[in-house]
């Protein structure tokens, strides 16, 4: 992955909206988040949109996949096809309480291609970016399926208020930029 973009920090109203989407089934929130996610053009063009898929058990518990709901709304706004390009090859359990190293270990081999050849430039959509371990593992499966470039677009990015190194840092930097910043 060369670029990751998020319109919000995972805090305040954005966090509340994502939690409602994820755990209360407020699918309409995905359209509002997609508006913010697509408010500014991406730094590079893409051919199709896909999402970081949930494990089967999680999908059965929730009744829907929040990342897929976001991907469909983003694809609609961008006029791009939304394709299922990856699948979970193993359930990894909740990542929320794991640190960076534990997340990366848990994600090894967690995704596979769906069997469909990926287009050259793929936009990977998810709800929250924390350490990037999940997105990186999914992007790896997309690259193995034929993608040349994977751009990550999330609704929000987490930050570690304690200053730990396991989480993304606040502020723009190469590869992660905020709306209003010039693309790098």
Q: Where are the domains of the chain?
A: 6-159
Q: Cα separation of 33 and 72, whole Å?
A: 12
Among the residue ranges 30-44, 94-108, 112-126, 144-158, the one predicted with the least confidence is: 94-108
**DSSP 3-state assignment of 149?**
strand
Q: pLDDT-based confidence at 130, cuts 50/70/90?
A: confident
CATH architecture, domain defined by 6-159: 3-Layer(aba) Sandwich (3.40)
Mean residue pLDDT of the chain comes to 82
178, pLDDT greater than 90: no
89, pLDDT greater than 50: yes
**Helix, strand, coil percent values for the chain (each to nearest 5):** 35, 20, 45
H or E stretch including 150?
Answer: strand 149-157
Among candidate residues 136, 92, 91, 146, the one with its CA nearest the CA of residue 114: 146
The pLDDT of 43-60, averaged and rounded, is 89
21, pLDDT greater than 60: yes
Q: Cα separation of 104 and 95, whole Å?
A: 10
Residues 6+ apart with CB under 8 A from 34: 70, 73, 74, 76, 77
Q: Cα separation of 28 and 69, whole Å?
A: 9
pLDDT, position 94: 61
pLDDT, position 104: 65
The pLDDT of 27-43, averaged and rounded, is 92
Residue bearing the bigger pLDDT, 95 or 142:
142
pLDDT, position 101: 66
């Amino acid at each position: 992955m060369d670029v990751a973009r998020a319109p919000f920090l995972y805090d305040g109203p954005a966090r509340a909206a994502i939690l409602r989407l994820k755990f209360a089934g407020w699918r309409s929130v995905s359209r509002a988040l997609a508006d913010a996610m697509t408010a500014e053009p991406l730094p590079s063009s893409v051919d199709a949109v896909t999402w970081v898929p949930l494990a089967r058990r999680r999908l059965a518990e929730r009744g829907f996949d929040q990342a897929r709901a976001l991907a469909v709304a983003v694809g609609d706004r961008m006029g791009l096809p939304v394709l299922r390009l990856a699948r979970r090859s193993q359930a990894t359990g909740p990542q929320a309480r794991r640190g960076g190293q534990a997340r990366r270990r848990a994600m090894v081999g967690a995704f596979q291609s769906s069997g469909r050849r990926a287009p050259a430039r793929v936009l990977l959509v998810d709800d929250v970016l924390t350490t990037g371990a999940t997105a990186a593992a999914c992007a790896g499966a997309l690259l193995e399926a034929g993608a040349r470039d994977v751009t990550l677009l999330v609704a929000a990015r987490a930050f570690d208020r304690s200053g730990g190194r396991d989480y993304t840092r606040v502020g723009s930097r190469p590869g992660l930029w905020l709306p209003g910043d010039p693309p790098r």
